[in-house]
Structure 1
Amino acid sequence: MENRNSKIAFVTGGTGFIGSHLVEALLAQGYEEVRCLVRSKQKWLEGLEIEEIRGDLSEPEVLWEAVSGVDYVYHIAGVTRAKDDAAFDRANVNATLNLLGAIRHANPGVERVVVTSSLAAVGRCECRIADESAPLRPVSRYGKSKAKMEQAISNPHEMQQSFMEALPITVVRPPAVYGPRDRDILTFFQSVNRRVCPIVSGGGPLSLVYAEDLARGMIRAAESDEAEGETYFLGSERAYDWHDVKDAATDALGHGALAVPVPPVLVSAAGAASEAWGALTGTYPPLNREKAREIRHAATACSSEKAERDFGYAPQTSLEDGVAETIRWYREHGWL
């Protein structure tokens, strides 16, 4: 591949679903070097031309080396499921502060640091579609950890400046993300494939961003002067509902599916049952009481107008095309 620029990036969470799409996008845009923090296995990075940095976000010396000399840092690493508040805070709050501390120490002149938060940090919202002016009122432990992270990087604590003041940071808040390699939405498509699709009754609008569109948006945010010190939602071109997603899936699968309305109270009951099963088996199922609370009470749609205005964010993938490509990938890899 012929390089088109000499930029160097460091990515945390690159072995995961969103991070691997970002790494591919950086390489496709001709970044000279992409460094990735890898704890054990490369997973989705296998075969890509990256510089592997062995270690994790609790090791300052590893982070000093990783961020030294880079132009851009993309922090995606984190957890969406954990056993308790302390585990969420270690992964989503403390790890972020460790990374920013390392950048401040080893590369304070970095061009930009993109920190990934979530729509879940907003939680309850008076508007059906949230924008960046909405206060942070998260309803889940995951959302609370992301809100706590945003507040922590804006708080100077015992330092003269907060990290937001000391470093050129941009915070991005994706809504639900889907695409090849994603396991969270897989269960929905499996239901559609079985021709019976439960859909929560009375649900609000839904933002659902394709992973490749999110990755391109994060790069645009990093390279935009306007985005320094700002927070952005990076969502879909419009709000959907789950019937839209079902219809796109049935088109891709080539057969219909019966939509079965699910009363919201049953979502809570299913979340409690799933969590109890997880406690017995030592697993963290995607649906639990926290996720059920988000489904019932938190904002699920966001406006990307600010990102569109400031740096030309524009999702390129229609829901129909994104769902079709995701299902094609699931089938190719035996997931569906």
Structure 2
Amino acid sequence: MSAAAHGTGMNTFSDVAGKTAPSQADKPAKSQPDGRADHQPGQNTGCAGTGHLTGVRVLLTGGTGFVGRHLLPQLLEAGAQVTCLTRSSSHIAHLPQGVAVAQADLGSGRGLAEALKGQDMVIHMAALLFGLGWQDYLRANARAARSLADAVMRADRAACTGENGGSKGIRRFVLVSSLAATGPCGTAPGVEDDTPPTPVSAYGWSKMLTEQILGRALGDRLVTLRPPIIYGSGDKGLLPVFKGVMSGLAVSPGAGREFPVSAIHARDMGQAVICACRPEATGVYHLSDGQEHTMSSFCRIMGSAVDKALEREPRRVRVIRMPLPVMALTAGLSSAFGIMADALLARLPARFGGRLRRAPNWNMDKYREARQAGWLCNGSRIRRELGFTPCMSLEAGMKEAVEGYRREGWL
């Protein structure tokens, strides 16, 4: 359903984006936890312009995660009124002051109708990155998309009857998907925005299904971002790589070859989300910092940032090009161990086993991605059409990431 055809007499998205911000008393009544860091306009050091979303009410999923920590200050800087969708187990103490909180379950859909009341826009970032098998990814990612699609359609009907907290319905839905949904490419400039999806992993298939489910329900209200490797402070996914580099070792997939990759810093990822909120944004956008990297150069720049942060003499990072059969063996063993551990933990009471269950970061699904020729994408269309300008070079981004890790005590 297009925004223009979305109900008789309803305002367009551009009308919503330009409205005057209501007072604090007009915001939805959501809980505000104590002890959060206060956010002041102008504090954001990202690249997003101020005032772009003044008065727009945004429901954000995944806001308590790694990228969310970078995006939230940018949304506030842009003038948005943000409600962060959380689970009962979410850590919310770090959320900036002024961010409302609503609890809901994306799997069952419980609580989504209430959370969507009064909202103008949804930004969906929550996703499972590491699972034990297809069912994990489908359950966490595709089922969440179905729950959100159903809830948005119900919110549309409520808006038509004036029962949606004063909102005219969800005018824009920004989905943070993944380059894994498109598939691999080892030659520059990489996959294009109109490249037919050919995912090679269960994670990639689940993200492609997420796009399809939301696309059928939302039509041209949906804008999809497909980022490559996202890195920056707060990212635990790359922490093992940083620790290996700190000791002077790194691994690149495949003996006797380079492994080309695109990358983007989390701060620039946040800016891209802000750009995707613009009324003129349409369709699918791939993201990158505009540079072609290899896993070797990625790790060596990472090593240089670690050396500078630790104020030590530069060390040579030895990049081991691991033969694919060896990588397959280690991934298979890691997956098998994860499945056995999960089966044992499933026997424990839910309050114990549920907290301990963890899929290994290195598993057969990630091996299916690592054995490809590379992961390059062309992010020129979002720069050309929406004015997206990446601000973080790989060197500056790695410096920011290492400083963040040290603040957290992770390095």
TM-score (norm 2): 0.74
Q: In structure 2, what is the equivalent of residue 159 of structure 1?
A: none
1:36 to 84, 87, 92: 84
CA distance in 2, matches of 1:194, 1:127: 31
Is residue 227 of structure 1 aligned with residue 275 of structure 2?
Answer: no
Q: In structure 1, what is the equivalent of residue 122 of structure 2?
A: 73
Which amino acid counterpart does residue 37 of structure 1 have in structure 2? L
Q: Which moved more, 1:96-105 or 1:114-123?
A: 96-105
CA distance in 2, matches of 1:115, 1:195: 37
CA distance in 1, matches of 2:373, 2:112: 35
Q: Is the 8 A contact 2:184 2:376 kept in 1?
A: no
1:313 to 369, 382, 388: 388
**1:250-284: CA deviation from partner (whole Å, max 9, x where unpaired):** 22222312222222222222211221222233331
1:151 to 190, 202, 212: 212
Q: Secondary structure at the match of 2:82?
A: strand
Q: Is the 8 A contact 2:186 2:260 kept in 1?
A: no
Q: Is the 8 A contact 1:18 1:211 kept in 2?
A: yes
CA distance in 2, matches of 1:242, 1:314: 23
Is residue 134 of structure 1 aligned with residue 195 of structure 2?
Answer: yes
Aligned positions of 1:195-214 closer than 5 A: 195-200=248-253, 201=255, 202-214=257-269
Using the TM superposition, give the Cα deviation of residue 299 of structure 1 relative to its aligned residue in structure 2, in angstroms. 4.7
Aligned positions of 1:84-163 closer than 5 A: 84-107=133-156, 109-125=169-185, 127-128=187-188, 129-154=190-215, 162-163=216-217
Q: Is the 8 A contact 2:59 2:123 kept in 1?
A: yes
Is residue 270 of structure 1 aligned with residue 325 of structure 2?
Answer: no
Q: Secondary structure at the match of 2:398?
A: helix
1:289 to 351, 364, 383: 364
CA distance in 2, matches of 1:41, 1:127: 42
Q: Which moved more, 1:312-321 or 1:18-27?
A: 18-27
Q: Is the 8 A contact 1:203 1:296 kept in 2?
A: no
CA distance in 2, matches of 1:54, 1:269: 41
2:321 to 241, 256, 261: 261
Q: Is the 8 A contact 1:248 1:324 kept in 2?
A: no
2:61 to 4, 7, 12: 12
Aligned positions of 1:22-61 closer than 5 A: 22-31=71-80, 33-43=81-91, 46-49=94-97, 50-60=99-109
Q: In structure 2, what is the equivalent of residue 83 of structure 1?
A: 132
> Quick check: which has more Rg, 1 or 2?
2
TM-score (norm 1): 0.90
Which amino acid counterpart does residue 204 of structure 1 have in structure 2? F
Using the TM superposition, give the Cα deviation of residue 287 of structure 1 relative to its aligned residue in structure 2, in angstroms. 0.9
Q: Is the 8 A contact 1:132 1:231 kept in 2?
A: yes
Q: Is the 8 A contact 1:115 1:170 kept in 2?
A: yes
Question: Aligned in 2, Cα 1:148/1:193: closer, same or farther, shift over 3 Å?
Answer: same
CA distance in 1, matches of 2:397, 2:294: 15
Which amino acid counterpart does residue 142 of structure 2 have in structure 1? V
Q: Secondary structure at the match of 1:297?
A: coil
**1:262-315: CA deviation from partner (whole Å, max 9, x where unpaired):** 222222222112212222333311111110110112651111011111101121
Q: Secondary structure at the match of 1:43?
A: coil
Please, which runs of 5 or more residues in structure 2 have no aligned partner?
A: 1-39, 42-49, 157-167, 308-313, 343-357
Q: Is the 8 A contact 1:13 1:19 kept in 2?
A: yes
Q: Secondary structure at the match of 1:212?
A: helix
Q: In structure 1, what is the equivalent of residue 353 of structure 2?
A: none
Using the TM superposition, give the Cα deviation of residue 113 of structure 1 relative to its aligned residue in structure 2, in angstroms. 0.6
Question: Aligned in 2, Cα 1:261/1:277: closer, same or farther, shift over 3 Å?
Answer: same
Q: Is the 8 A contact 2:185 2:376 kept in 1?
A: no
Q: Secondary structure at the match of 2:84?
A: strand
Q: Secondary structure at the match of 2:173?
A: strand
The sequence identity of aligned pairs, in percent, is 30
Q: Is the 8 A contact 2:259 2:373 kept in 1?
A: no
Q: Is the 8 A contact 2:107 2:139 kept in 1?
A: no
CA distance in 2, matches of 1:259, 1:95: 38
Q: Which moved more, 1:87-96 or 1:285-294?
A: 87-96
Which amino acid counterpart does residue 196 of structure 2 have in structure 1? P
Q: Secondary structure at the match of 1:197?
A: strand
Q: Is the 8 A contact 2:83 2:101 kept in 1?
A: yes
Question: Aligned in 2, Cα 1:314/1:243: closer, same or farther, shift over 3 Å?
Answer: same
1:215 to 270, 275, 279: 270
State the Cα RMSD in Å.
2.1
Q: Which moved more, 1:145-154 or 1:53-62?
A: 53-62
